[in-house]
Structure 1
């Protein structure tokens, strides 16, 4: 695993498309139990090199009901975004994750993590990539039908502050789904 992560840290596969250059942000451990697959690092995470080191990460940890220590313990969570590097700014938020990372690196990482019990699919990019034709027409429908993807996958919306409109329109997510997500996380990590 160490060698693979070192190899990834030197990746330049999409260098020409990255406004701030390559700086892959990914964490994993051969003992990881849960994999979080999000979109791509934002500017703050690009600068710090720490995944989910922003408001989105704070909300995600609240949803999961875990401490920073539990979250950043790679024996608990591997953090493998769809795009490993900051993709740049778009019209409304960041650009989509670069398409090169997932096919290039994800399977190699999963091959080295035999203890994975749950994969959190955070946002539509991860859901569409992993669920393929089993993903519903919209993220809302996919998240609403989360039980049909268990025990392997748990689809959730992105916890970004820019998603607050979605959360206000869909209060059922935090009322009904987040408690189930917390139970699942506690069970896998044996926090009960």
Structure 2
């Protein structure tokens, strides 16, 4: 795992791509993983704040995600317990003011290798469409979008729970879907405690 992390942290596969974005930034892979982690948070890609901090979910999305999970920062950032592995390890940059999608080459190059070093994972949280599409490719599921997939979360529990992105842009979605807070979050929180304390 140490050797693999060293490789990832020096990865420059997307350097030319990032240099051509509005932010013209260097690659900075951001992830937190260990062989002992029991929970995997599979996100999309770091945003600009995370790119600058070098620490995942150091933004309002992280605050909301930790609230959904009902874990404190110390637990959330304890890589021996919770692994944080986005679909794209680096901030993909902006185009016309919006975050670009995570480059597919990142998951193709690294994801299976990393997951092969994480045999203790008992619960995977799939945050957003990119993570859901990759991780659920082996499931027989006819869902077409994030809303459909999250609405059918029982199809994947208890080992996998799909979530919408915790971005504040999704506040309207949360208001339109009160079942998320009433039905899914209590199960999510109970399952997290079972795995962390098991």
TM-score range, shorter chain: over 0.9
Q: Spell out the pairing of 1:102-121 with structure 2 (5 A cutoff).
A: 102-121=107-126
Q: Secondary structure at the match of 2:104?
A: coil
Confirm whether residue 87 of structure 1 aligns to residue 130 of structure 2: no
Cα distance per residue 1:49-98 (max 9 Å; x no partner): 00011000000000000000000001111111001111112346311111
Structure 1 length normalisation: TM-score?
A: 0.95
**Structure 2, unaligned stretches of length 5 or more?**
19-23
CA distance in 2 between partners of 1:93 and 1:176 (Å) = 32
Residues 87-134 of structure 1 deviation map (CA, whole Å, 9 limit, x = unaligned): 112346311111111111111111111111011100011101111262
11-20 or 48-57, which deviates more: 11-20
Q: Does 1:42 align with 2:66?
A: no
**Is the 8 Å Cα contact of residues 42 and 84 (structure 2) preserved in structure 1?**
yes
Across the aligned residues of Structure 1 and Structure 2, the Cα RMSD in angstroms comes to 1.4
Segments ≥4 residues shifted beyond 6 Å: none
Q: What stretches of structure 1 of length at least 5 have no aligned partner? A: none
Q: 2:169 aligns with which of 151, 159, 162?
A: 162
1:13 and 2:27 matched = no
